[in-house]
Structure 1
Amino acid sequence: MNLWQFMHNICKKIKNTMNLKIPEISFEGIVARHPEAIAALHDAAHDWGLFYLEDTGIPATLPAQILSMSDRFFQLPPELKQQLSLNARNDFRGYVALGEELTNGQPDMKESLEFAREEERPEDAKPQAFDQLYGCNPWPKESWIPGFRSVLERYMNEIQVLGQQLMAALIDSLAIDSVHHDSQWQHPLHFRTRLIHYCQVSNLAKGCIRIAEHTDLALFNLLRIHAPGLEAKHLSGNWFEVNPHPNTLVVILGELCQSWTQGYYRAGIHRVRQATEDGERTSMPFFFYPNLQTTLPTINSNKPLETGNKYAGELLLQRLVGVHPHPEEV
């Protein structure tokens, strides 16, 4: 290869990278199984592990209510928020103060209020260490923020239905026999969600990393963002800004999706930067997992469905212990 060819190839790669943009996929299209939408879902999951999900049908006023409720909660006095402390429980639900959660071993510069799907351990299930993940959510008192619980539960119900439909579309997008897979997802997916407040941090300059580069454990994360700061890594290795879009969710595939497809669909690599001078930002991600009692399946195009030997709840508990250490361990 001569110098001219070498430079031509470099310029071609740069041009291709410049033309890249995070995919935008219609939820209505994938629910209706339009071939173009399913193909777009397939390509986005393979190349990015992340995409924008449009036309979700969630009422436009509901996210605004969530944002307002979230702001009111995080403005409460610390002594009230600490009454809901996650560290006082064993189900990993509740309030997490600034610096109490770890990403890649580093304290996060954010506070959060953590929830999960409210459910009881199935009566016929054998006792497991992850049984502690079942239970009910801790809610702020109605007198603190009137209407908080009703608005949050309404939004959770909307997202839970959407997540189940997205899982079915991901199965279809792989163009495999879905009979066995349908049985694996016949129970409602487990989800965990959080209100996140990226507080003002005066000693962090604009552009600094607030949450380190990482992937999520979940099958996928449905995230609504209200301000810039989130960045995603493409298969090429280049980073792209993930910006707020009206009435749109960001979908980030996780490690369980990558494992389930034996690496064909990617866990979306992402991070959070200080995008503004004060760095204040709010988001609400929904992390979806298989039912906690599910033993995790894998896909191999040359072999029938194989079943793993670990429960989804077991893997989830392991990850939660890693990101929520006991306070004196931080």
Structure 2
Amino acid sequence: MSNQTAVNNVPTIDVSPLIAGATHAHYQTTVEQLASAAHQVGFAQLVGHNLQEKHLQLLEMTKRFFALPMEEKMKAYIGNSNNHRGYVPFGEEVMASGIPDTKEAFDLSLDLPANHPSVTAGAHLLGPNQWPQLEGFKEAVMAYYDAVFALGKNIFRAFAIGLGQDPELFLRYVTTPPSQLRLIHYPHNEAAVDRPGIGEHTDYECFTLLKPTAPGLEIFNTAGEWVPVPYNPDALVLNIGDLLQLWTNGYYVATSHRVRKVKEERYAFPLFFTVDYFTEVKPLEAFTKPGDAPVAGVVSGEHLRAQTMQSFQYMLKRLKNGEATLPDGALPYYSLGREASTL
């Protein structure tokens, strides 16, 4: 990581060649741009993704859901789920700052029946979604999920090629992953100028594809500064997560980020792309040198579950009451990422 710099700009990359496939004339150039952004910044803005129509449908249904009375939303409360799916009310989630976030959310993933083999094998974060009684909501949400997940597979392949590795290096571990889509609502709030809308953190998974509807996102650069990410209404924001940083021994970097000074109403739709639950993630041999101190690996789903259990109120209550325990070898909350390494 010695050639990383104090980057103040997040690059914009046209990913249409990745969607077109390896025969596209600009495929390799796009791969190189993506790999450079993952190494230097940990962030990029992606255009040419063709998700606009499905995003508009998703946004309309999301607004309808969050406009429901609280008692209706709480019928799908995430604490009623055994696999972390459903409505997240204000104050439910606490990030590294220790201050509850000023947002509400709806969390979902692959909609699998309880008797699916991946669920019965003990993958705690897999299973059925909770759905509100809102006509058209499930259909619009899953249509967007499927489309952005397909884009994520193209990006994951490009990440492997950008490392000079087999294109299927990572995708061979993507069959039924607990890749989560969050529908997030930050309401209009004048008081939010002096507190986070969502606190500083790195994402726990491999990478994130975020569609926001307003500014507010900031990243923590190598100079130790919080830098705003300019809002581009046509772009998806890509950022590297903990697992891809670990897999590449820090070559692809998970940069801490936060949402600040949220006065206007804002919606955000991050897909947290990850690998199958029981995938062991540790530094690739190509990114280790003789004499390097050994770096402990993690089981991807257990890492995600451990971090989640330490940041949601309903999970923390279960831990306190002895109703749940952290996975063996669980890392402390917020122990990876660029900012965490400076604390």
> Is it true that 1:68 corresponds to 2:60 in the alignment?
yes
Question: What TM-score does the superposition give when structure 1 sets the normalisation length?
Answer: 0.82
Q: Secondary structure at the match of 1:298?
A: coil
Q: Deviations over 1:180-199 (max 9, x none)?
A: x2574352543101111112
For 1:220, the equivalent position in structure 2 comes to 207
For 1:48, the equivalent position in structure 2 comes to 41
The CA deviation at 1:26 is: 1.5
Against the structure 1 CA distance between its residues 38 and 92, is the aligned structure 2 distance closer, same or farther, given a 3 Å change threshold? Answer: same
Q: Secondary structure at the match of 2:310?
A: helix
Aligned positions of 1:77-226 closer than 5 A: 77-104=69-96, 105-119=98-112, 123=117, 127-128=121-122, 131-141=123-133, 145-178=134-167, 181=169, 184-185=172-173, 187-204=175-192, 206=193, 208-226=195-213
The AA in structure 1 aligned to 2:191 is N
Against the structure 1 CA distance between its residues 311 and 186, is the aligned structure 2 distance closer, same or farther, given a 3 Å change threshold? Answer: same
The AA in structure 2 aligned to 1:296 is V
Structure with larger Rg: 1
Q: Sequence identity of aligned pairs in percent?
A: 30
Q: Secondary structure at the match of 2:302?
A: helix
Match of 2:271 among 261, 286, 291: 286
Whole-angstrom distance in 2 between the partners of 1:240 and 1:183: 32
Aligned positions of 1:301-316 closer than 5 A: 301=286, 310-316=298-304
Question: What TM-score does the superposition give when structure 2 sets the normalisation length?
Answer: 0.79
Q: How many residue pairs get matched?
A: 303
Whole-angstrom distance in 2 between the partners of 1:315 and 1:327: 15
Aligned positions of 1:229-240 closer than 5 A: 229-240=216-227
Whole-angstrom distance in 2 between the partners of 1:115 and 1:183: 21
Unmatched runs of 5 consecutive residues or more in structure 1 = 1-15
Q: Is the contact made by 1:100 and 1:327 (CA closer than 8 Å) also made in structure 2?
A: no
The AA in structure 2 aligned to 1:160 is F
Unmatched runs of 5 consecutive residues or more in structure 2 = 321-343
RMSD of the alignment, in Å? 2.8
Q: Is the contact made by 1:47 and 1:235 (CA closer than 8 Å) also made in structure 2?
A: no
Match of 1:251 among 216, 238, 260: 238
The CA deviation at 1:67 is: 1.4
The CA deviation at 1:20 is: 4.4
Whole-angstrom distance in 2 between the partners of 1:255 and 1:221: 11
Q: Deviations over 1:18-42 (max 9, x none)?
A: x942111111234445232122111
Which range moves more in the overlay, 238-247 or 306-315?
A: 306-315
The AA in structure 1 aligned to 2:247 is W
Against the structure 1 CA distance between its residues 71 and 269, is the aligned structure 2 distance closer, same or farther, given a 3 Å change threshold? Answer: same
The CA deviation at 1:310 is: 3.9
The CA deviation at 1:70 is: 1.1
> Is it true that 1:262 corresponds to 2:254 in the alignment?
no
